[in-house]
Amino acid sequence: MDASEDEIASSLLGWYGNHARVLPWRSPPGQEPPEPYRVWLSEVMLQQTTVAAVIPYFERFTARWPDVEALAAAPEEEIMAAWAGLGYYARARNMVACAKAVAELGEFPRTEEELRELPGLGAYTAAAVAAIAFGRRAVVVDANVERVVARLFAIDEPLPGARKAIRARTEEITPRQRAGDFAQAMMDLGATICTPREPHCLICPLSMQCVARLAGDPARYPVKLPKKARPERRGRAFWIERDGAVWLVRRAGEGMLGGMRALPDDGWSARADGSGGSPLEGQWETGGVVQHGFTHFGLRMELALYRGRDWAALGRSAGEWWPLGRLDEAGLPTLFAKAARLALATRD
């Protein structure tokens, strides 16, 4: 690093020593690094999810499965149920595969290159674990870091094309010592000061080095292209109740909400509306509509309530009767948890 780059790292680390967020997966600035398992688990959970949403999940997971061996040995359906509500369920399936691989190795690999070889562990997470858990110099770029660096150097190219330049600039300012603290300091700066709208430049430790601030419009960065309109899909979910229990199915292991318990539906997907077909013949009535947003599409899902009593056809399909009194233990994804609440409200 040249003198200006060294000054950036020094200023940021000095600020971090007094303003680091206290988070359950972290060690205080300058202290011994946290266990790799806690760093890895937190980074998997934090992908596209807020810190506030992740904290209770992280605490429940680490209380129930305190190390990677315990997580690797747990039944996958229990892990998926515990994950319910956190979203992006492919992360959970990848997490299970990675935990099993690490348990088989006996420990987490210590280098970024070796970490990349684990199943389901991408470039960002490998860099974060290498830097934070093992103190290796690695270039860690999440959305917060991306925003800070784009403003710090006033990178004009729109995202996603700008990511190559952002990574190169992050590489330039990442120090060889305290790389983990530096990565977390960048994350904290983006989360608390260099925020997407109305950045708090007056109290930013990097304000004197920030090209975007000196130009007078830091909120302009990172430059983004206009968003494309998300398509809206339509589908139906089916509430079939008998003797204080509801019929639940297990979704296919791959694809949307894979491996999760859910209400039966009519086959809607990210690419197409549902067929409208129902699992039973007979009396159905409308129970309302659930609106839900996925990353690439919105879903308008009608809830259909079965009012008949001929359940024999269900015996030819895979599913289970789940007690209504224990529905919160089923681990329903948010979409189907919404539908269940609607059905129960209609029923009451």
Which residues are the active-site residues?
A: 43
H/E element, 242: strand 241-242
Q: At what angle do helices 163-173 and 143-152 cross, to 10 degrees?
A: 80
The residue with tokens 């007979």 is 282
Q: Is residue 266 within 8 Å of residue 342, measured between CB atoms?
A: no
Q: Is residue 188 within 8 Å of residue 148, measured between CB atoms?
A: no
CA dihedral defined by 90, 94, 96, 99, rounded to 10 degrees?
-150
**Angle of CA points 272, 274, 277, to nearest 5°:** 155
* Collapsed DSSP state (helix, strand, coil) of residue 275: coil
The residue with tokens 């060889």 is 176
**Angle of CA points 152, 158, 159, to nearest 5°:** 90
Q: How far is CA 121 from CA 47, 97, 239, in A?
A: 12, 10, 37
Burial of 217 (0-12, 13-18, 19+ CB in 10 A): exposed
How many angstroms separate the CA atoms of 213 and 209, rounded? Answer: 8
How many angstroms separate the CA atoms of 12 and 10, rounded? Answer: 5
Tell me the sheet residues that pair with 323: 245
User: What token pair was written down for 269?
Assistant: 């997907």
User: What token pair was written down for 8?
Assistant: 């950036």
CA nearest to 150, candidates 202, 201, 196, 212: 212
Q: At what angle do helices 36-46 and 90-105 cross, to 10 degrees?
A: 160
